[in-house]
Each structure stands twice: as structure tokens, then as C-alpha cells.
Amino acid sequence: MTTQSPFTLKSRSSECAARRGEVRTRQGVFQTPVFMPVGTQGTVKAVTPENLQEMGAGIILGNTYHLFIRPGHELIEKFGGLHSFMNWKGSILTDSGGFQIFSLKELATITEEGAAFRSHLDGSKLFLSPEDAVHVQQSLGSDIMMCLDTCIPYPATRDETIKATDLTTRWARRCREAHTKRERLLFGIVQGGMHPDLRQEHAAALIDIGFDGYAIGGLSVGEEKQLMHDMTEATVPSLPQDYPVYLMGVGTPSDLVEGVWRGVDMFDCVMPTRNARNGSLFTSKGKIAIKNAKFREDQRPLDETCSCYTCRNYSRAYLRHLYKAREILSYHLNTIHNLHFYLTLMADIRKAIEEDSFAQFRKDFYSKLEHE
């Protein structure tokens, strides 16, 4: 089955696989390469939708598993979908819940039919089939929906990997058949563990089914960095060049640079928001731990090259005080900075690709780092 691609290529690097484009959803257009802030439960933690809009976020991520459990997709549908429920004007991608079920494996049982699991909130029995995953995401009003997949642990044997990947293929076919609201995009997820040949075979199987975009799943699950990059590099060339490519759950600023270098268009990760709440802040010179005593009297902004609201208005000393006092404002200001850093990094990457200077950008990015 063929689909019309929502992706438009704008420019391509002559030095690597990096490319600059845009993706059109029913909600509008967002620019790629893109980082999607994670709003698991219908909110990007510690910031408002208006904050995100001001930072230039074109798309955010929600999670099917969490919204299915609380407050429930039926309730959100009554409010006209997640956009109106949370007052977000941009696009929304929803993860299918496969990774959360994988993360809560002691509460879940995977069968051919789907995933039977217990709620992490109250222990109640729940079930999510591939058809359910699509139905829930359609009820949420997602602009980009993900197929339910079986995430493969690391390490796993080749036989375990083949068995789980084949199940993901069968589930992907069922998701495609359940996809009735075609104005919402549906992405397939390439699995295959740490075996390049299995990933390439799985990519071919998903292309045969036909999706609106293709994600690389099952990475950043404990494997070493180089292996993650190698699997990305092995997978991207197997995917259609005229469709968006999404590397799921990745990662650090350097992971984004390396992913773009290898041809990835879309990324998401909880790292900027989670790190912000833990006092770990990203700067152009690397990460800093704001709790450190050396910042007690430091009058400088977090990053003197940063134009975010936090850096324009507050000192490291004040941010350290807020964090040490466990003030709620600490989470807010830190999160604004970290997300702004990520979104600005992606805007700078897009500009470098347009100017065909991404190799130099990558070199400069690493030369500025004192640590990560």
C-alpha cells in the first residue's frame, strides 16, 4: 500500500546524510530536523503551552499509555481532543504505549492479541491491542500516531529479536487496517534489535505495508552509544528517502547532532525536562549541575550565548538558590532553559544544513564542549 508522503525536502547536505525539510500535518507544518518536547500526560512538565510556542516548538509528544489510563481517551475526546484539552496549537505526536508497556514489563503480558497489563496507578487489569492503540490515538486527536510495537530489551538473542520483530510486523499490519481517520498520519516502527540485517528486513516489511513515516525504535535501551549510532546508520538507508524518519527516545545534544548526520528528521526525549528538574542544565559548553557550591555567588546567566527567558533574567546564583530550596520556580526556569537550548540547537542545525556547512557545525559543536 502506498501513501502520499507528508514530508517535503528543502535541502540536503553534500557532506553527509543530513537533510532539511518540513512535515505537513492536519494541524500545520513543522520544520525538520526537529526535536519534540515530551508531554507524556498532556503537559510538558513545568512549562505552559505558551512557553513552548514562544520557544518555537512546532510539535510536542503525548503518550497513549498514560492518557489511556488517566484521564481516559473518552474524556479527552469529549473536549475535542488533546489540542483543545491542553490548549496546544501546534502538532501532536502520540507514542503508542509500547515502550511504557516494555518499561513496566513486570506488570505486562505480551501475546499475539496485544498487551495485557496492570495499571501502574491502581493495579487494575487493562488490555491494549494494536487496534485499541490506533483507536485511542484517533480519539485523542493525534496528528501523528505510532503503531503498537514490541520493544526489544538489550541484550537479546537473535531468536528473541526475530520473534519480537515479527510480532511487531503483524501488529503493524493490524494498526494499518484499523487506521480509519487517514487525515491523521500513522508511522510504522522499525525494530530488529542490534542486528543490521534484521533492521533492514523489517524496514522492507513495513514499507510493503505502507506508512506515512518511519520510526527507528528499540534504541537507547542500554546499549553503548556507538552501537546506537551504528544501528541508526544501518537503518536509515533502508527507509524511503521521501518520507520522514524518526529516531525514538533519543537523546543528548550530541545524539541529536549524530542522528541528523545520519539522516534522521525527528527526535524526542525526556532528557531536557527531566534533567531540568534534577538541576542538570545544558549549555553550549556542556552540562552543569546548578547545585554545585561554585555557583553560590555566580552572577552570570546559565549560558552567556543563550537568549532564553531564564538566561535573560536570572543568575546562576539565584537558580542555585531556588534549586537548593526546592522551590517550584526552579523547575519552571530550568525547564524553559533546557528546552530552549534543545530547540535552538535544532534551529541552528537546520540553518547549517541550508548553508551546506553542517560538517563544520558538528566540528564546532564538539570543540566548544568542556564536558557533557
Per-residue pLDDT tens digits for 117-169: 888 899 899 899 999 999 999 999 999 999 999 989 999 999 999 999 999 99
Q: What's the average model confidence in pLDDT over 39-56?
A: 97
Amino acid, res. 320? R
Q: Is the pLDDT of residue 338 over 90?
A: yes
Domain count for the chain: 2
Does 180 map to a domain? yes
Domain range for 355 is: 276-368
Q: How far apart are CA 287 and CA 341, in angstroms?
A: 11
Q: Is the pLDDT of residue 260 over 90?
A: yes
322 and 250 together in one domain: no
Q: How far apart are CA 318 and CA 299, in angstroms?
A: 8
Mean of the per-residue pLDDT values of the chain:
96
92 and 158 together in one domain: yes
136 and 209 together in one domain: yes
Q: Residue 185 is part of a domain; what is its CATH number?
A: 3.20.20.105
**282-305: pLDDT as tens digits:** 999 999 999 999 999 999 999 999
Identify the domain boundary among 251, 268, 285.
268
353 and 230 together in one domain: no
Q: How far apart are CA 288 and CA 369, in angstroms?
A: 11
Question: Which DSSP symbol is given to 238?
Answer: G
Set 95, 143, 149, 265: catalytic member = 95
258 and 186 together in one domain: yes
162 and 63 together in one domain: yes
238 and 311 together in one domain: no
* pLDDT recorded at residue 372: 43
Question: Higher-confidence residue: 128 or 103?
Answer: 128
* pLDDT recorded at residue 102: 76
Strand partners, 9: 21
183 and 281 together in one domain: no
pTM listed for this prediction: 0.97
296 and 248 together in one domain: no
Let me know if 255 is a catalytic residue.
Answer: no
Q: Is the pLDDT of residue 281 over 80?
A: yes
114 and 247 together in one domain: yes
Does 1 map to a domain? no
H or E segment and range at residue 209? helix 196-209
Q: Is the pLDDT of residue 371 over 50?
A: no
Q: What's the average model confidence in pLDDT over 4-28?
A: 98
Let me know if 149 is a catalytic residue.
Answer: no
Does 356 map to a domain? yes
Q: Is the pLDDT of residue 34 over 80?
A: yes
Does 2 map to a domain? no
* pLDDT recorded at residue 3: 80
The region of weakest confidence among 13-27, 113-127, 191-205, 276-290 is: 113-127
Choose among 268, 234, 230, 233: nearest CA to 248: 268
**What cell was used for 27?**
494541524
110 and 250 together in one domain: yes
Identify the domain boundary among 223, 241, 268.
268
Q: Is the pLDDT of residue 101 over 90?
A: no
Identify the domain boundary among 241, 268, 295.
268
* pLDDT recorded at residue 311: 98
263 and 133 together in one domain: yes
Set 132, 143, 149, 268: catalytic member = 268
* CA separation, residue 31 to residues 21, 28, 330, 332 (Å): 6, 10, 30, 26
